Structure formats: C-alpha cells, structure tokens
Structure 1
Amino acid sequence: MHWEIFLFFLIIAFVYSSVGFGGGSSYLAVLAMYNLPYQEIRLTALICNIIVVIGGVYIYIKNKQIDWKKVIPITLVSVPMAYLGAVLKISQETFFLVLGITLVIAALLLWMKTETANEDFSVKDSGPSSLFRNSFLGGGIGFLSGLVGIGGGIFLSPLLNLLKWDTARKIAATSSVFILVNSISGIAGQLSKLSVDIDYFRILSLCLAVFIGGQIGSRMSLKWNPMIIKRMTAVLVLVAGINVLIKYW
C-alpha cells in the first residue's frame, strides 16, 4: 500500500471542496503515476467522484439550481453510453494510451479561461438542434467517462462555458449531476468484469481520505481563486498525461 496516495487524496479533496470543485481528474492523475491495475484505477476514481459530488448535487437540488429541461437530454444519453464504455473490453496498454490523451486534452480545457453567461441570461437555446447537440455532447463524453473512469465534468464544464450554455451556477450544477450519474453508470458497467487482483482495502482507504478531506474543505470555504486551482490542476493533469503517454506509447 502506497500510503502517500492517501495523503494526496485527502489534500486534493480538501482543496477542491473548499472552492466547490470535485477534483476527480486529479485523483485519476495521481493513480496513473503508480503501477496499479487499470481496472482498480477506473473503479477508485469513479467511487471517489460519487463521494465528492453527491453532497453538491443535494445542495443544488435543494436550492432549485438545476434546470432539468436542459440537464435531462445530456444525462439521458450519457448514462447508457458511460455503461457501454465501462463494459467495453480493452487491453491495459490501450487504456493507458486513451487515458494519457484524455488527461492532456483535459489539461488544455482546464487551462482555458472561458466566460459564462451572466446571471440575468435568458435561455433561448431550446429548439430541436439544441436537444440534438446536448444529447450528442452528453453521449460522447459519457462514453469516454466510462472507458477511462472519470465523471466527465472536466470535459463538460469547459465546453458548456465555451458554448455560453447557461450561467456559471447552472453549469456547475449540471456538471455535478452529470458526474454523479455517469460515475454510477460506469461503476455498474465495471462490476460485471472486475479483476481478482483489485485491492479493495486500498480503495476503501482512499474513499475515506476523500470523504474526510471533502468534509473539512467544504466547511472551511477558503477564499482561494478558483482559476488558480483550475490551472494548478491543469499542470498536474498534463504532467500525468505526458508521463502515461511516454510510458505506454
């Protein structure tokens, strides 16, 4: 057991939850630097995603900040696609190549500074073309989420910002729901073909670390600049992605 991973996860959860982020990509980036079974990496990242975002989703629902008319088309297609990505049989080498490319692209998206719509933004984008675009976007990201072991929010949120899809708060709420349902779907897909060499004690330990760090961070609400956190994440994710590609290319 690499006990330093426990510390890394606790710190990541603490920092990200204090500014309203989940940090799922950082968990995946850290795990990718260790010689762990790829099925365990995917399963751990998805479970940690659920632990981190479930509280946020509850708060968003309680405060009525989720526009279900816009969220459902994205998540309805993403859930079966995430399951399909999770059950797809791929080799460990293929997994790490896809993971490396995914992390590099995610790092670039994280680094970008995007402008969201204003809070007085009026939604006009609700026609058939919008429904198709949202479904296509959700399905594509959902499949990648299940395949790699991420919730998908790291891709969805920047893309929705670029599209000026809605206000920053509504996009954050949508991303949280998206991460939650895709993580659950991805886990359901993985349960059908789990490897016997998975260290469940390590998974439970990391889940505990995420829970502790997330609970402390969410209650402290430190006044850190979210853009700084995003770009710190971008650097970490980029380094991890390049490291994976060098090792498995």
Structure 2
Amino acid sequence: MSPDQLLILLPAFFLLAALYTSVGHAGASGYLAAMALVAVMPDTMRPTALALNILVAAFTTWRFWQAGYFSWRGLWPFLLGSVPLAALGGSLRLTTGLYYVLAGCALALSAIVLVWRAWGGVAPERPGEAARIPLAPAMACGAVIGLLSGLTGTGGGIFLSPIVLLAGWAGPRHTGGISAPFILANSAVALAAGTATWAALPAELPWLIVAVLAGAVTGTWFGITRLSTRWLLAAMALVLSIAAAKLILTA
C-alpha cells in the first residue's frame, strides 16, 4: 500500500469497524469497499479483509457474550453447515473479473441489508432470551453462506443477519451475538484454507489492526448500550453501493 492509500484507509477502517460492530458484524465488506475505492490490488484485498475480520469478530464476540447476547445453541447449526464450505471457498482462486463481480454483489447486498436494518421495525429484546434456530434450515443456510464468505473474503455476517432477523429466529442484538462468532469462525477457516494468499498481506497491516480495534471498542459500546442511528447506517450503505458499482463496472 502507498502512504496515500494508508492515510485514507486508517480513518475509514476506524469508522467502518465502529459502524459494523455496533450491529454485531466485523466489517469485511466495508473494508473491501474502502480498499476498492483506493484501488488496492484484489490479491491483497481478500486476505487483508479476512485477517482484520478475525480480530474484530473475536473482540465483538467477547463483548456480546459479556452483555448476555451470545447463544451457542443458536450458533452451532450455522457453523456445522458453513465451516466446510468456507474452507472450500477460501481455497478457490478466481479470475480478477469474477472476483470483482462476486465482491460487488456482496457489497450491494450489504447496502440493502443496512438500509433494511435502519428503517425496518424490530421488537424489543432482553439479554438471556433464547434464540429460536431450527436445525435443518440453519445448516442449509450456513452451507451457502460459508461458500460465499470464503469466495468473497467476507465473514458471512452480511448474509446471515438478514436471514435470522427476517425469519424471526432472534432479535437484533441476539442476532449480533450469533453473527459475530459465525464471522470469526468462517474468516479463520477461509484465511487458513487460502494459505497462498498470506504473502499478499500488506506490511501496513499492524496500523490497520490498530484502526479497526479502536473502531470495534467504540462500535460495540454503542451497539450494546445505545441504538444504532439510521442515518449512520444509511451513509455506510451509500458508500457500499458506490464501491459495489465500481467493482462490478470494473469487471
């Protein structure tokens, strides 16, 4: 990465991590968007997003668990379906054009989900409430999401959260408590499966780590103790939409 790229990415990653972790996500799709906008090479984008996702998702998981919104019973059916397919997706090498299309579609879906989260009505919830996750549908959803997360360099939370919320299986904060560890597991598996991509991790990664962890501290506090504001989510959705269009048109 050039100094100019890093200068833009550090504050962008802080803000993205803060926004994403407020709803239990780790930010991979946002990091991909920011890197796309400053023309980071595709070979660097995916492993960088996954590496940052692992760290942010680990912290976010701990914060939601601490607040009483983590549910192992709600998590493991999704993981059972997703982990093998995340490994497969992470091991596949895509052409640059195909990667741009898949990443662009993932970002566009993220934008739609964020708009829905900003304006969609959700019922109140309390810590300790049980998530109602049906086994077979969760495994099937996990398998599809795992493959997509491995291919696109996202942790899969952007696909998992709307399914859980729209199906009525859990409330928004309990969904965050499921999404964060789901993202952590899929990101770790996808990065480990794509060991050949480790060499593409940028030398500037420690600086990016500081930025996203600082954002995660801010975002998890905001998401757990305060409601996310719809206009912040809408602004992030706009950024993702622009990046998605850029990626798809570039392909």
How far 1:203 moved relative to its partner?
2.5
User: Match of 1:232?
Assistant: 235
Aligned pairs for 1:1-249 (under 5 A) are 1=2, 2-3=5-6, 4-17=8-21, 22-112=26-116, 113-116=119-122, 118-119=124-125, 130-191=134-195, 193-194=196-197, 198=200, 200-216=202-218, 218=220, 225-248=228-251
- Alpha-carbon RMSD across the aligned residues, in angstroms, is 2.8
Distance 1:166 1:117, change over 3 A: farther
1:106 Cα offset (Å): 2.1
The Cα of 1:8 is off from its aligned counterpart by: 1.6
Note if contact 1:152-1:178 (Cα within 8 Å) is conserved in structure 2: yes
Deviations 1:165-206 (A, max 9, x none): 112222110011111111111111111x2275x253123321
Count of matched residue pairs: 243
Gaps of 5+ in 2: none
Q: Are the aligned partners of 1:13 and 1:23 in contact in 2 as well (CA < 8 Å)? A: yes
For 1:156 and 1:173, the matched residues in 2 are separated by: 12
**One-letter code aligned to 1:91:** T
Q: Which amino acid aligns with 1:235?
A: L
State TM-score, norm by structure 1: 0.85
Identity %: 28
| Structure 1 residues 82-102: Cα deviation after superposition (integer angstroms, max 9, x where no partner) | 111010121111111111122
Unaligned runs of 5+ in 1: none
Cα distance in 1 for residues equivalent to 2:147 and 2:227: 33
Report which of the two structures shows the higher radius of gyration computed on alpha carbons: 1
Cα pair distance change 1:109/1:218, threshold 3 Å? closer
Whether contact under 8 Å (1:19, 1:223) holds in the other structure is no
Could you report, residue by residue, the CA deviation over 1:115-139 in whole angstroms, capped at 9, with x for unpaired residues? 445537987956xxx3221011111
